[in-house]
Amino acid sequence: MLPAASLRGIVPCVALPSSFRTLIGRRVHIIALLIISCSILFSSCIKDVVPSDAITTETLTSTTEGLTNAVNGAYALFKDHVEFNGTADDNNMYLRQYFQLSDFASDDITCGQVTEDPLFYSFSLNHSPTQTNTRYFWYISYKIISDCNTVIEAVEKEPTDDPARKQLLGECYFLRALSHFNLAKLFARPYAQDKTAPGIILRTSTNDPAQKARSTVEETYNQIVADALKAADLMDQPRGVQYASKEAAWALLSRAYLYMEDNQNAADYAAKVINSGKFSLASASEFKTMFANAAQSSETIFCIAFTPKEDYGKFGSIASMIYSDGNSGWGEEYASPSIRSLMSAHPEDVRWTYIVPLKDGSGNIATKNGIPIYYITKFSFQEQSPTLSSPIMFRLAEMYLNRAEANAKSGNTKTALDDVDAIRKNRGLQSSLYNGQVPNGSTALEVVLNERRIELAFEGQRTFDVYRNNLPMDRSYWGYHLPGLKETDIDLSKEPTGYPNEIIPPTDPRIIYYIPIDEVQSNPLCVQNP
């Protein structure tokens, strides 16, 4: 893997909120360049002189075409490699950072070797306020939020009944809610643990002061819900699953309410998506290629669409971390023994399709440092490319699982298991349904969470599902998540026992990341995580 980008100091900019103080980076797409002009004019402090050829916010949003370009620029930030802190780094990409910061801290993925890439901190829990991936993710998240705020304020100066403009305005509210939500999941304690704990810095106006305190977890989630409700109310002109929609806002509300343990609302908003009639669960045969054809899948509610021109290959794609065809990626992170053990009872399950063993010359499973190599392909094979995909952020199966979890917690066991069975019927498990009966020695919630783990594996949800339910993360298997150990220290012929940090309790301070040093140094009101 590429070594971590070198760290450089940030020169604070008085006029710009501390979350946005890094110079605005170059965009890959011409559409995104439009929003840069807008952001430079209204948010940056690269001199106070407006260039004579600058595109003003009014010009950008005065027509539906201009507004569309501005909103599309916000979407581009989820996938562009934006220059950060004066450095261009192919590893810097919102989605790459999001999936590594979430999934690599879970029990679904194991690390095959020591690496200087900051993703290693997620495995080892040896976090630092200076690690590049969290610093970039914080920066680019607030850049997306800033761009959304700029558009929201410009459009709302002149209220409109134009459905197309209301749709685009709603998309900005959705993107702001989603960005705040993902920040909260990574940098704030789970809502169920302590809703009075420090959340994140809420940025809902371009006039926010540069120095601003963190809102509480409860205040953070209330803002997320408010934005998502506003988004759903505005959006009635869907532009396709690569853009936000009313149903995507409902899906976000279902997930957020689930995290808040508001089970009734979590179930109700999941039901609204399910009953919309716009989506259907992929069949067993369709599921095998669903992630390679995300934009066309009947199950996709919202995805970030990549084109072949945006195939980042070995350098910078999500797939390059977890898959390699021998030349396409680093492939140094694998499906863990833990997730494979959970799935082992049903080899006919089509969800095995996305776990691909590497065989050696003798037909045996290849290993690296004693770790079996099982690649992951949920981010591969769009247009037959091993490193191209359009990551799915919300899909219908999650809505069934959200509703099932909410019902399991509310004592509605049969209803919960029926939703689980709806998924299993479409994953090659027709003969292995629960039919409303909880297996001996288990609970309805355990059944749902296990199904959730298998169905949503490697999609950035497992870590949060464990800790928000106040469960420990059990990584009792060999891997480089064990600080200070080497393969030679482990007797691989025996069951793993006595490893340090093998089981991480939900109360461990390391389950969330430090607020990046850029923020806490320039914003004394922002308290650091312990």
Q: What is the pLDDT of residues 271-324, one digit of tens each?
A: 999 999 999 999 999 999 999 999 999 999 999 999 999 999 988 999 999 999
pLDDT averaged over every residue in the chain: 88
Mean pLDDT across 49-55 = 36
pLDDT of res. 491: 64
pLDDT of res. 490: 62
Contact 138, 182 (CB under 8 A): no
Residue 499 has pLDDT above 70, yes or no: no
Q: Which residue has the higher pLDDT, 105 or 314?
A: 105
- The angle that helices 246-259 and 163-187 make with each other, rounded to 10 degrees, is 20
Q: What percent of the chain has pLDDT over 90?
A: 79
Residue 50 has pLDDT above 90, yes or no: no
Give the count of beta carbons closer than 10 Å to the beta carbon of residue 526.
20
Mean pLDDT across 487-509 = 71
Nearest Cα neighbor of 448 from 484, 401, 410, 512 is 401
pLDDT of res. 480: 84
Mean pLDDT across 486-512 = 73
Question: What is the per-residue burial (b if ≥16 Cβ within 10 Å, else e) of 486-515?
Answer: eeeebeeeeebeebebbebebeeebbbbbb
**Residue with structure tokens 């009014």?**
58
Mean pLDDT across 99-104 = 98
Give the whole-angstrom CA distance, residue 189 versus residue 467: 9
Spacing of C-alpha 303 from chain mean position: 11
Q: What is the pLDDT of residues 441-475, one digit of tens each?
A: 999 999 999 999 999 999 999 999 999 999 999 99
Mean pLDDT across 192-210 = 97
Q: Which residue has the higher pLDDT, 46 or 317?
A: 317
pLDDT of res. 88: 84
Residue 24 has pLDDT above 50, yes or no: no
What confidence tier does 497 reach under pLDDT thresholds 50, 70, 90? low
Sign of CA dihedral 491, 496, 498, 502: positive
Give the whole-angstrom CA distance, residue 511 versus residue 272: 32
Give the whole-angstrom CA distance, residue 185 versus residue 168: 26
Give the whole-angstrom CA distance, residue 73 versus residue 54: 16
User: Cβ-count burial of 130 within 10 angstroms (0-12 exposed, 13-18 middle, 19+ buried)?
Assistant: middle
Contact 247, 278 (CB under 8 A): yes
- The whole-model pTM stands at 0.89
Give the count of beta carbons closer than 10 Å to the beta carbon of residue 361.
6
Alpha helices in 235-329 (DSSP H): 246-259, 263-274, 284-287, 319-322
Residue 6 has pLDDT above 60, yes or no: no
CA distance readout (Å), 92 to 96, 140, 312, 384, 525: 7, 9, 11, 24, 27
Q: What is the pLDDT of residues 120-134, one digit of tens each?
A: 999 999 999 999 999
Q: What percent of the chain has pLDDT over 70?
A: 85
Give the count of beta carbons closer than 10 Å to the beta carbon of residue 306.
26
Mean pLDDT across 414-428 = 98
Q: Virtual CA dihedral for 360, 365, 366, 368, nearest 10 degrees?
A: 180
Residue 515 has pLDDT above 60, yes or no: yes
pLDDT of res. 501: 61
Q: What is the pLDDT of residues 324-339, one digit of tens each?
A: 999 898 999 999 999 9
What the block records as the tokens of 70 is 């501005």
CA distance readout (Å), 457 to 109, 203, 335, 392, 464: 9, 31, 9, 12, 12
pLDDT of res. 30: 32
What confidence tier does 436 reach under pLDDT thresholds 50, 70, 90? very high
Tell whether domain 396-488 is in CATH 3.40.50.720. no
Sequence spans of domains, the chain: 396-488
DSSP string, 198-248: B-------TT--SS-PPPBHHHHHHHHHHHHHHHHHH--S---TTS--HHH
Give the count of beta carbons closer than 10 Å to the beta carbon of residue 346.
17
DSSP summary character for residue 410? T
Residue 492 has pLDDT above 60, yes or no: no
Strand partners, 111: 333
In this predicted structure, which of 14-18, 60-64, 322-326 has the lowest mean pLDDT?
A: 14-18
pLDDT of res. 54: 40
Residue 60 has pLDDT above 80, yes or no: no
Give the whole-angstrom CA distance, residue 91 versus residue 213: 30
Mean pLDDT across 329-357 = 97
pLDDT of res. 48: 30
Residue 526 has pLDDT above 90, yes or no: yes
In this predicted structure, which of 87-91, 133-137, 172-176, 518-522 has the lowest mean pLDDT?
A: 87-91
In this predicted structure, which of 27-36, 399-408, 490-499 has the lowest mean pLDDT?
A: 27-36
What the block records as the tokens of 299 is 């199950």
Give the count of beta carbons closer than 10 Å to the beta carbon of residue 58.
12
What the block records as the tokens of 499 is 């490893």
Nearest Cα neighbor of 392 from 455, 463, 310 is 455
For the chain, the maximum distance between any two Cα atoms, rounded to a whole number of angstroms, is 73
CA distance readout (Å), 26 to 23, 87, 116, 230, 411: 9, 11, 26, 31, 52
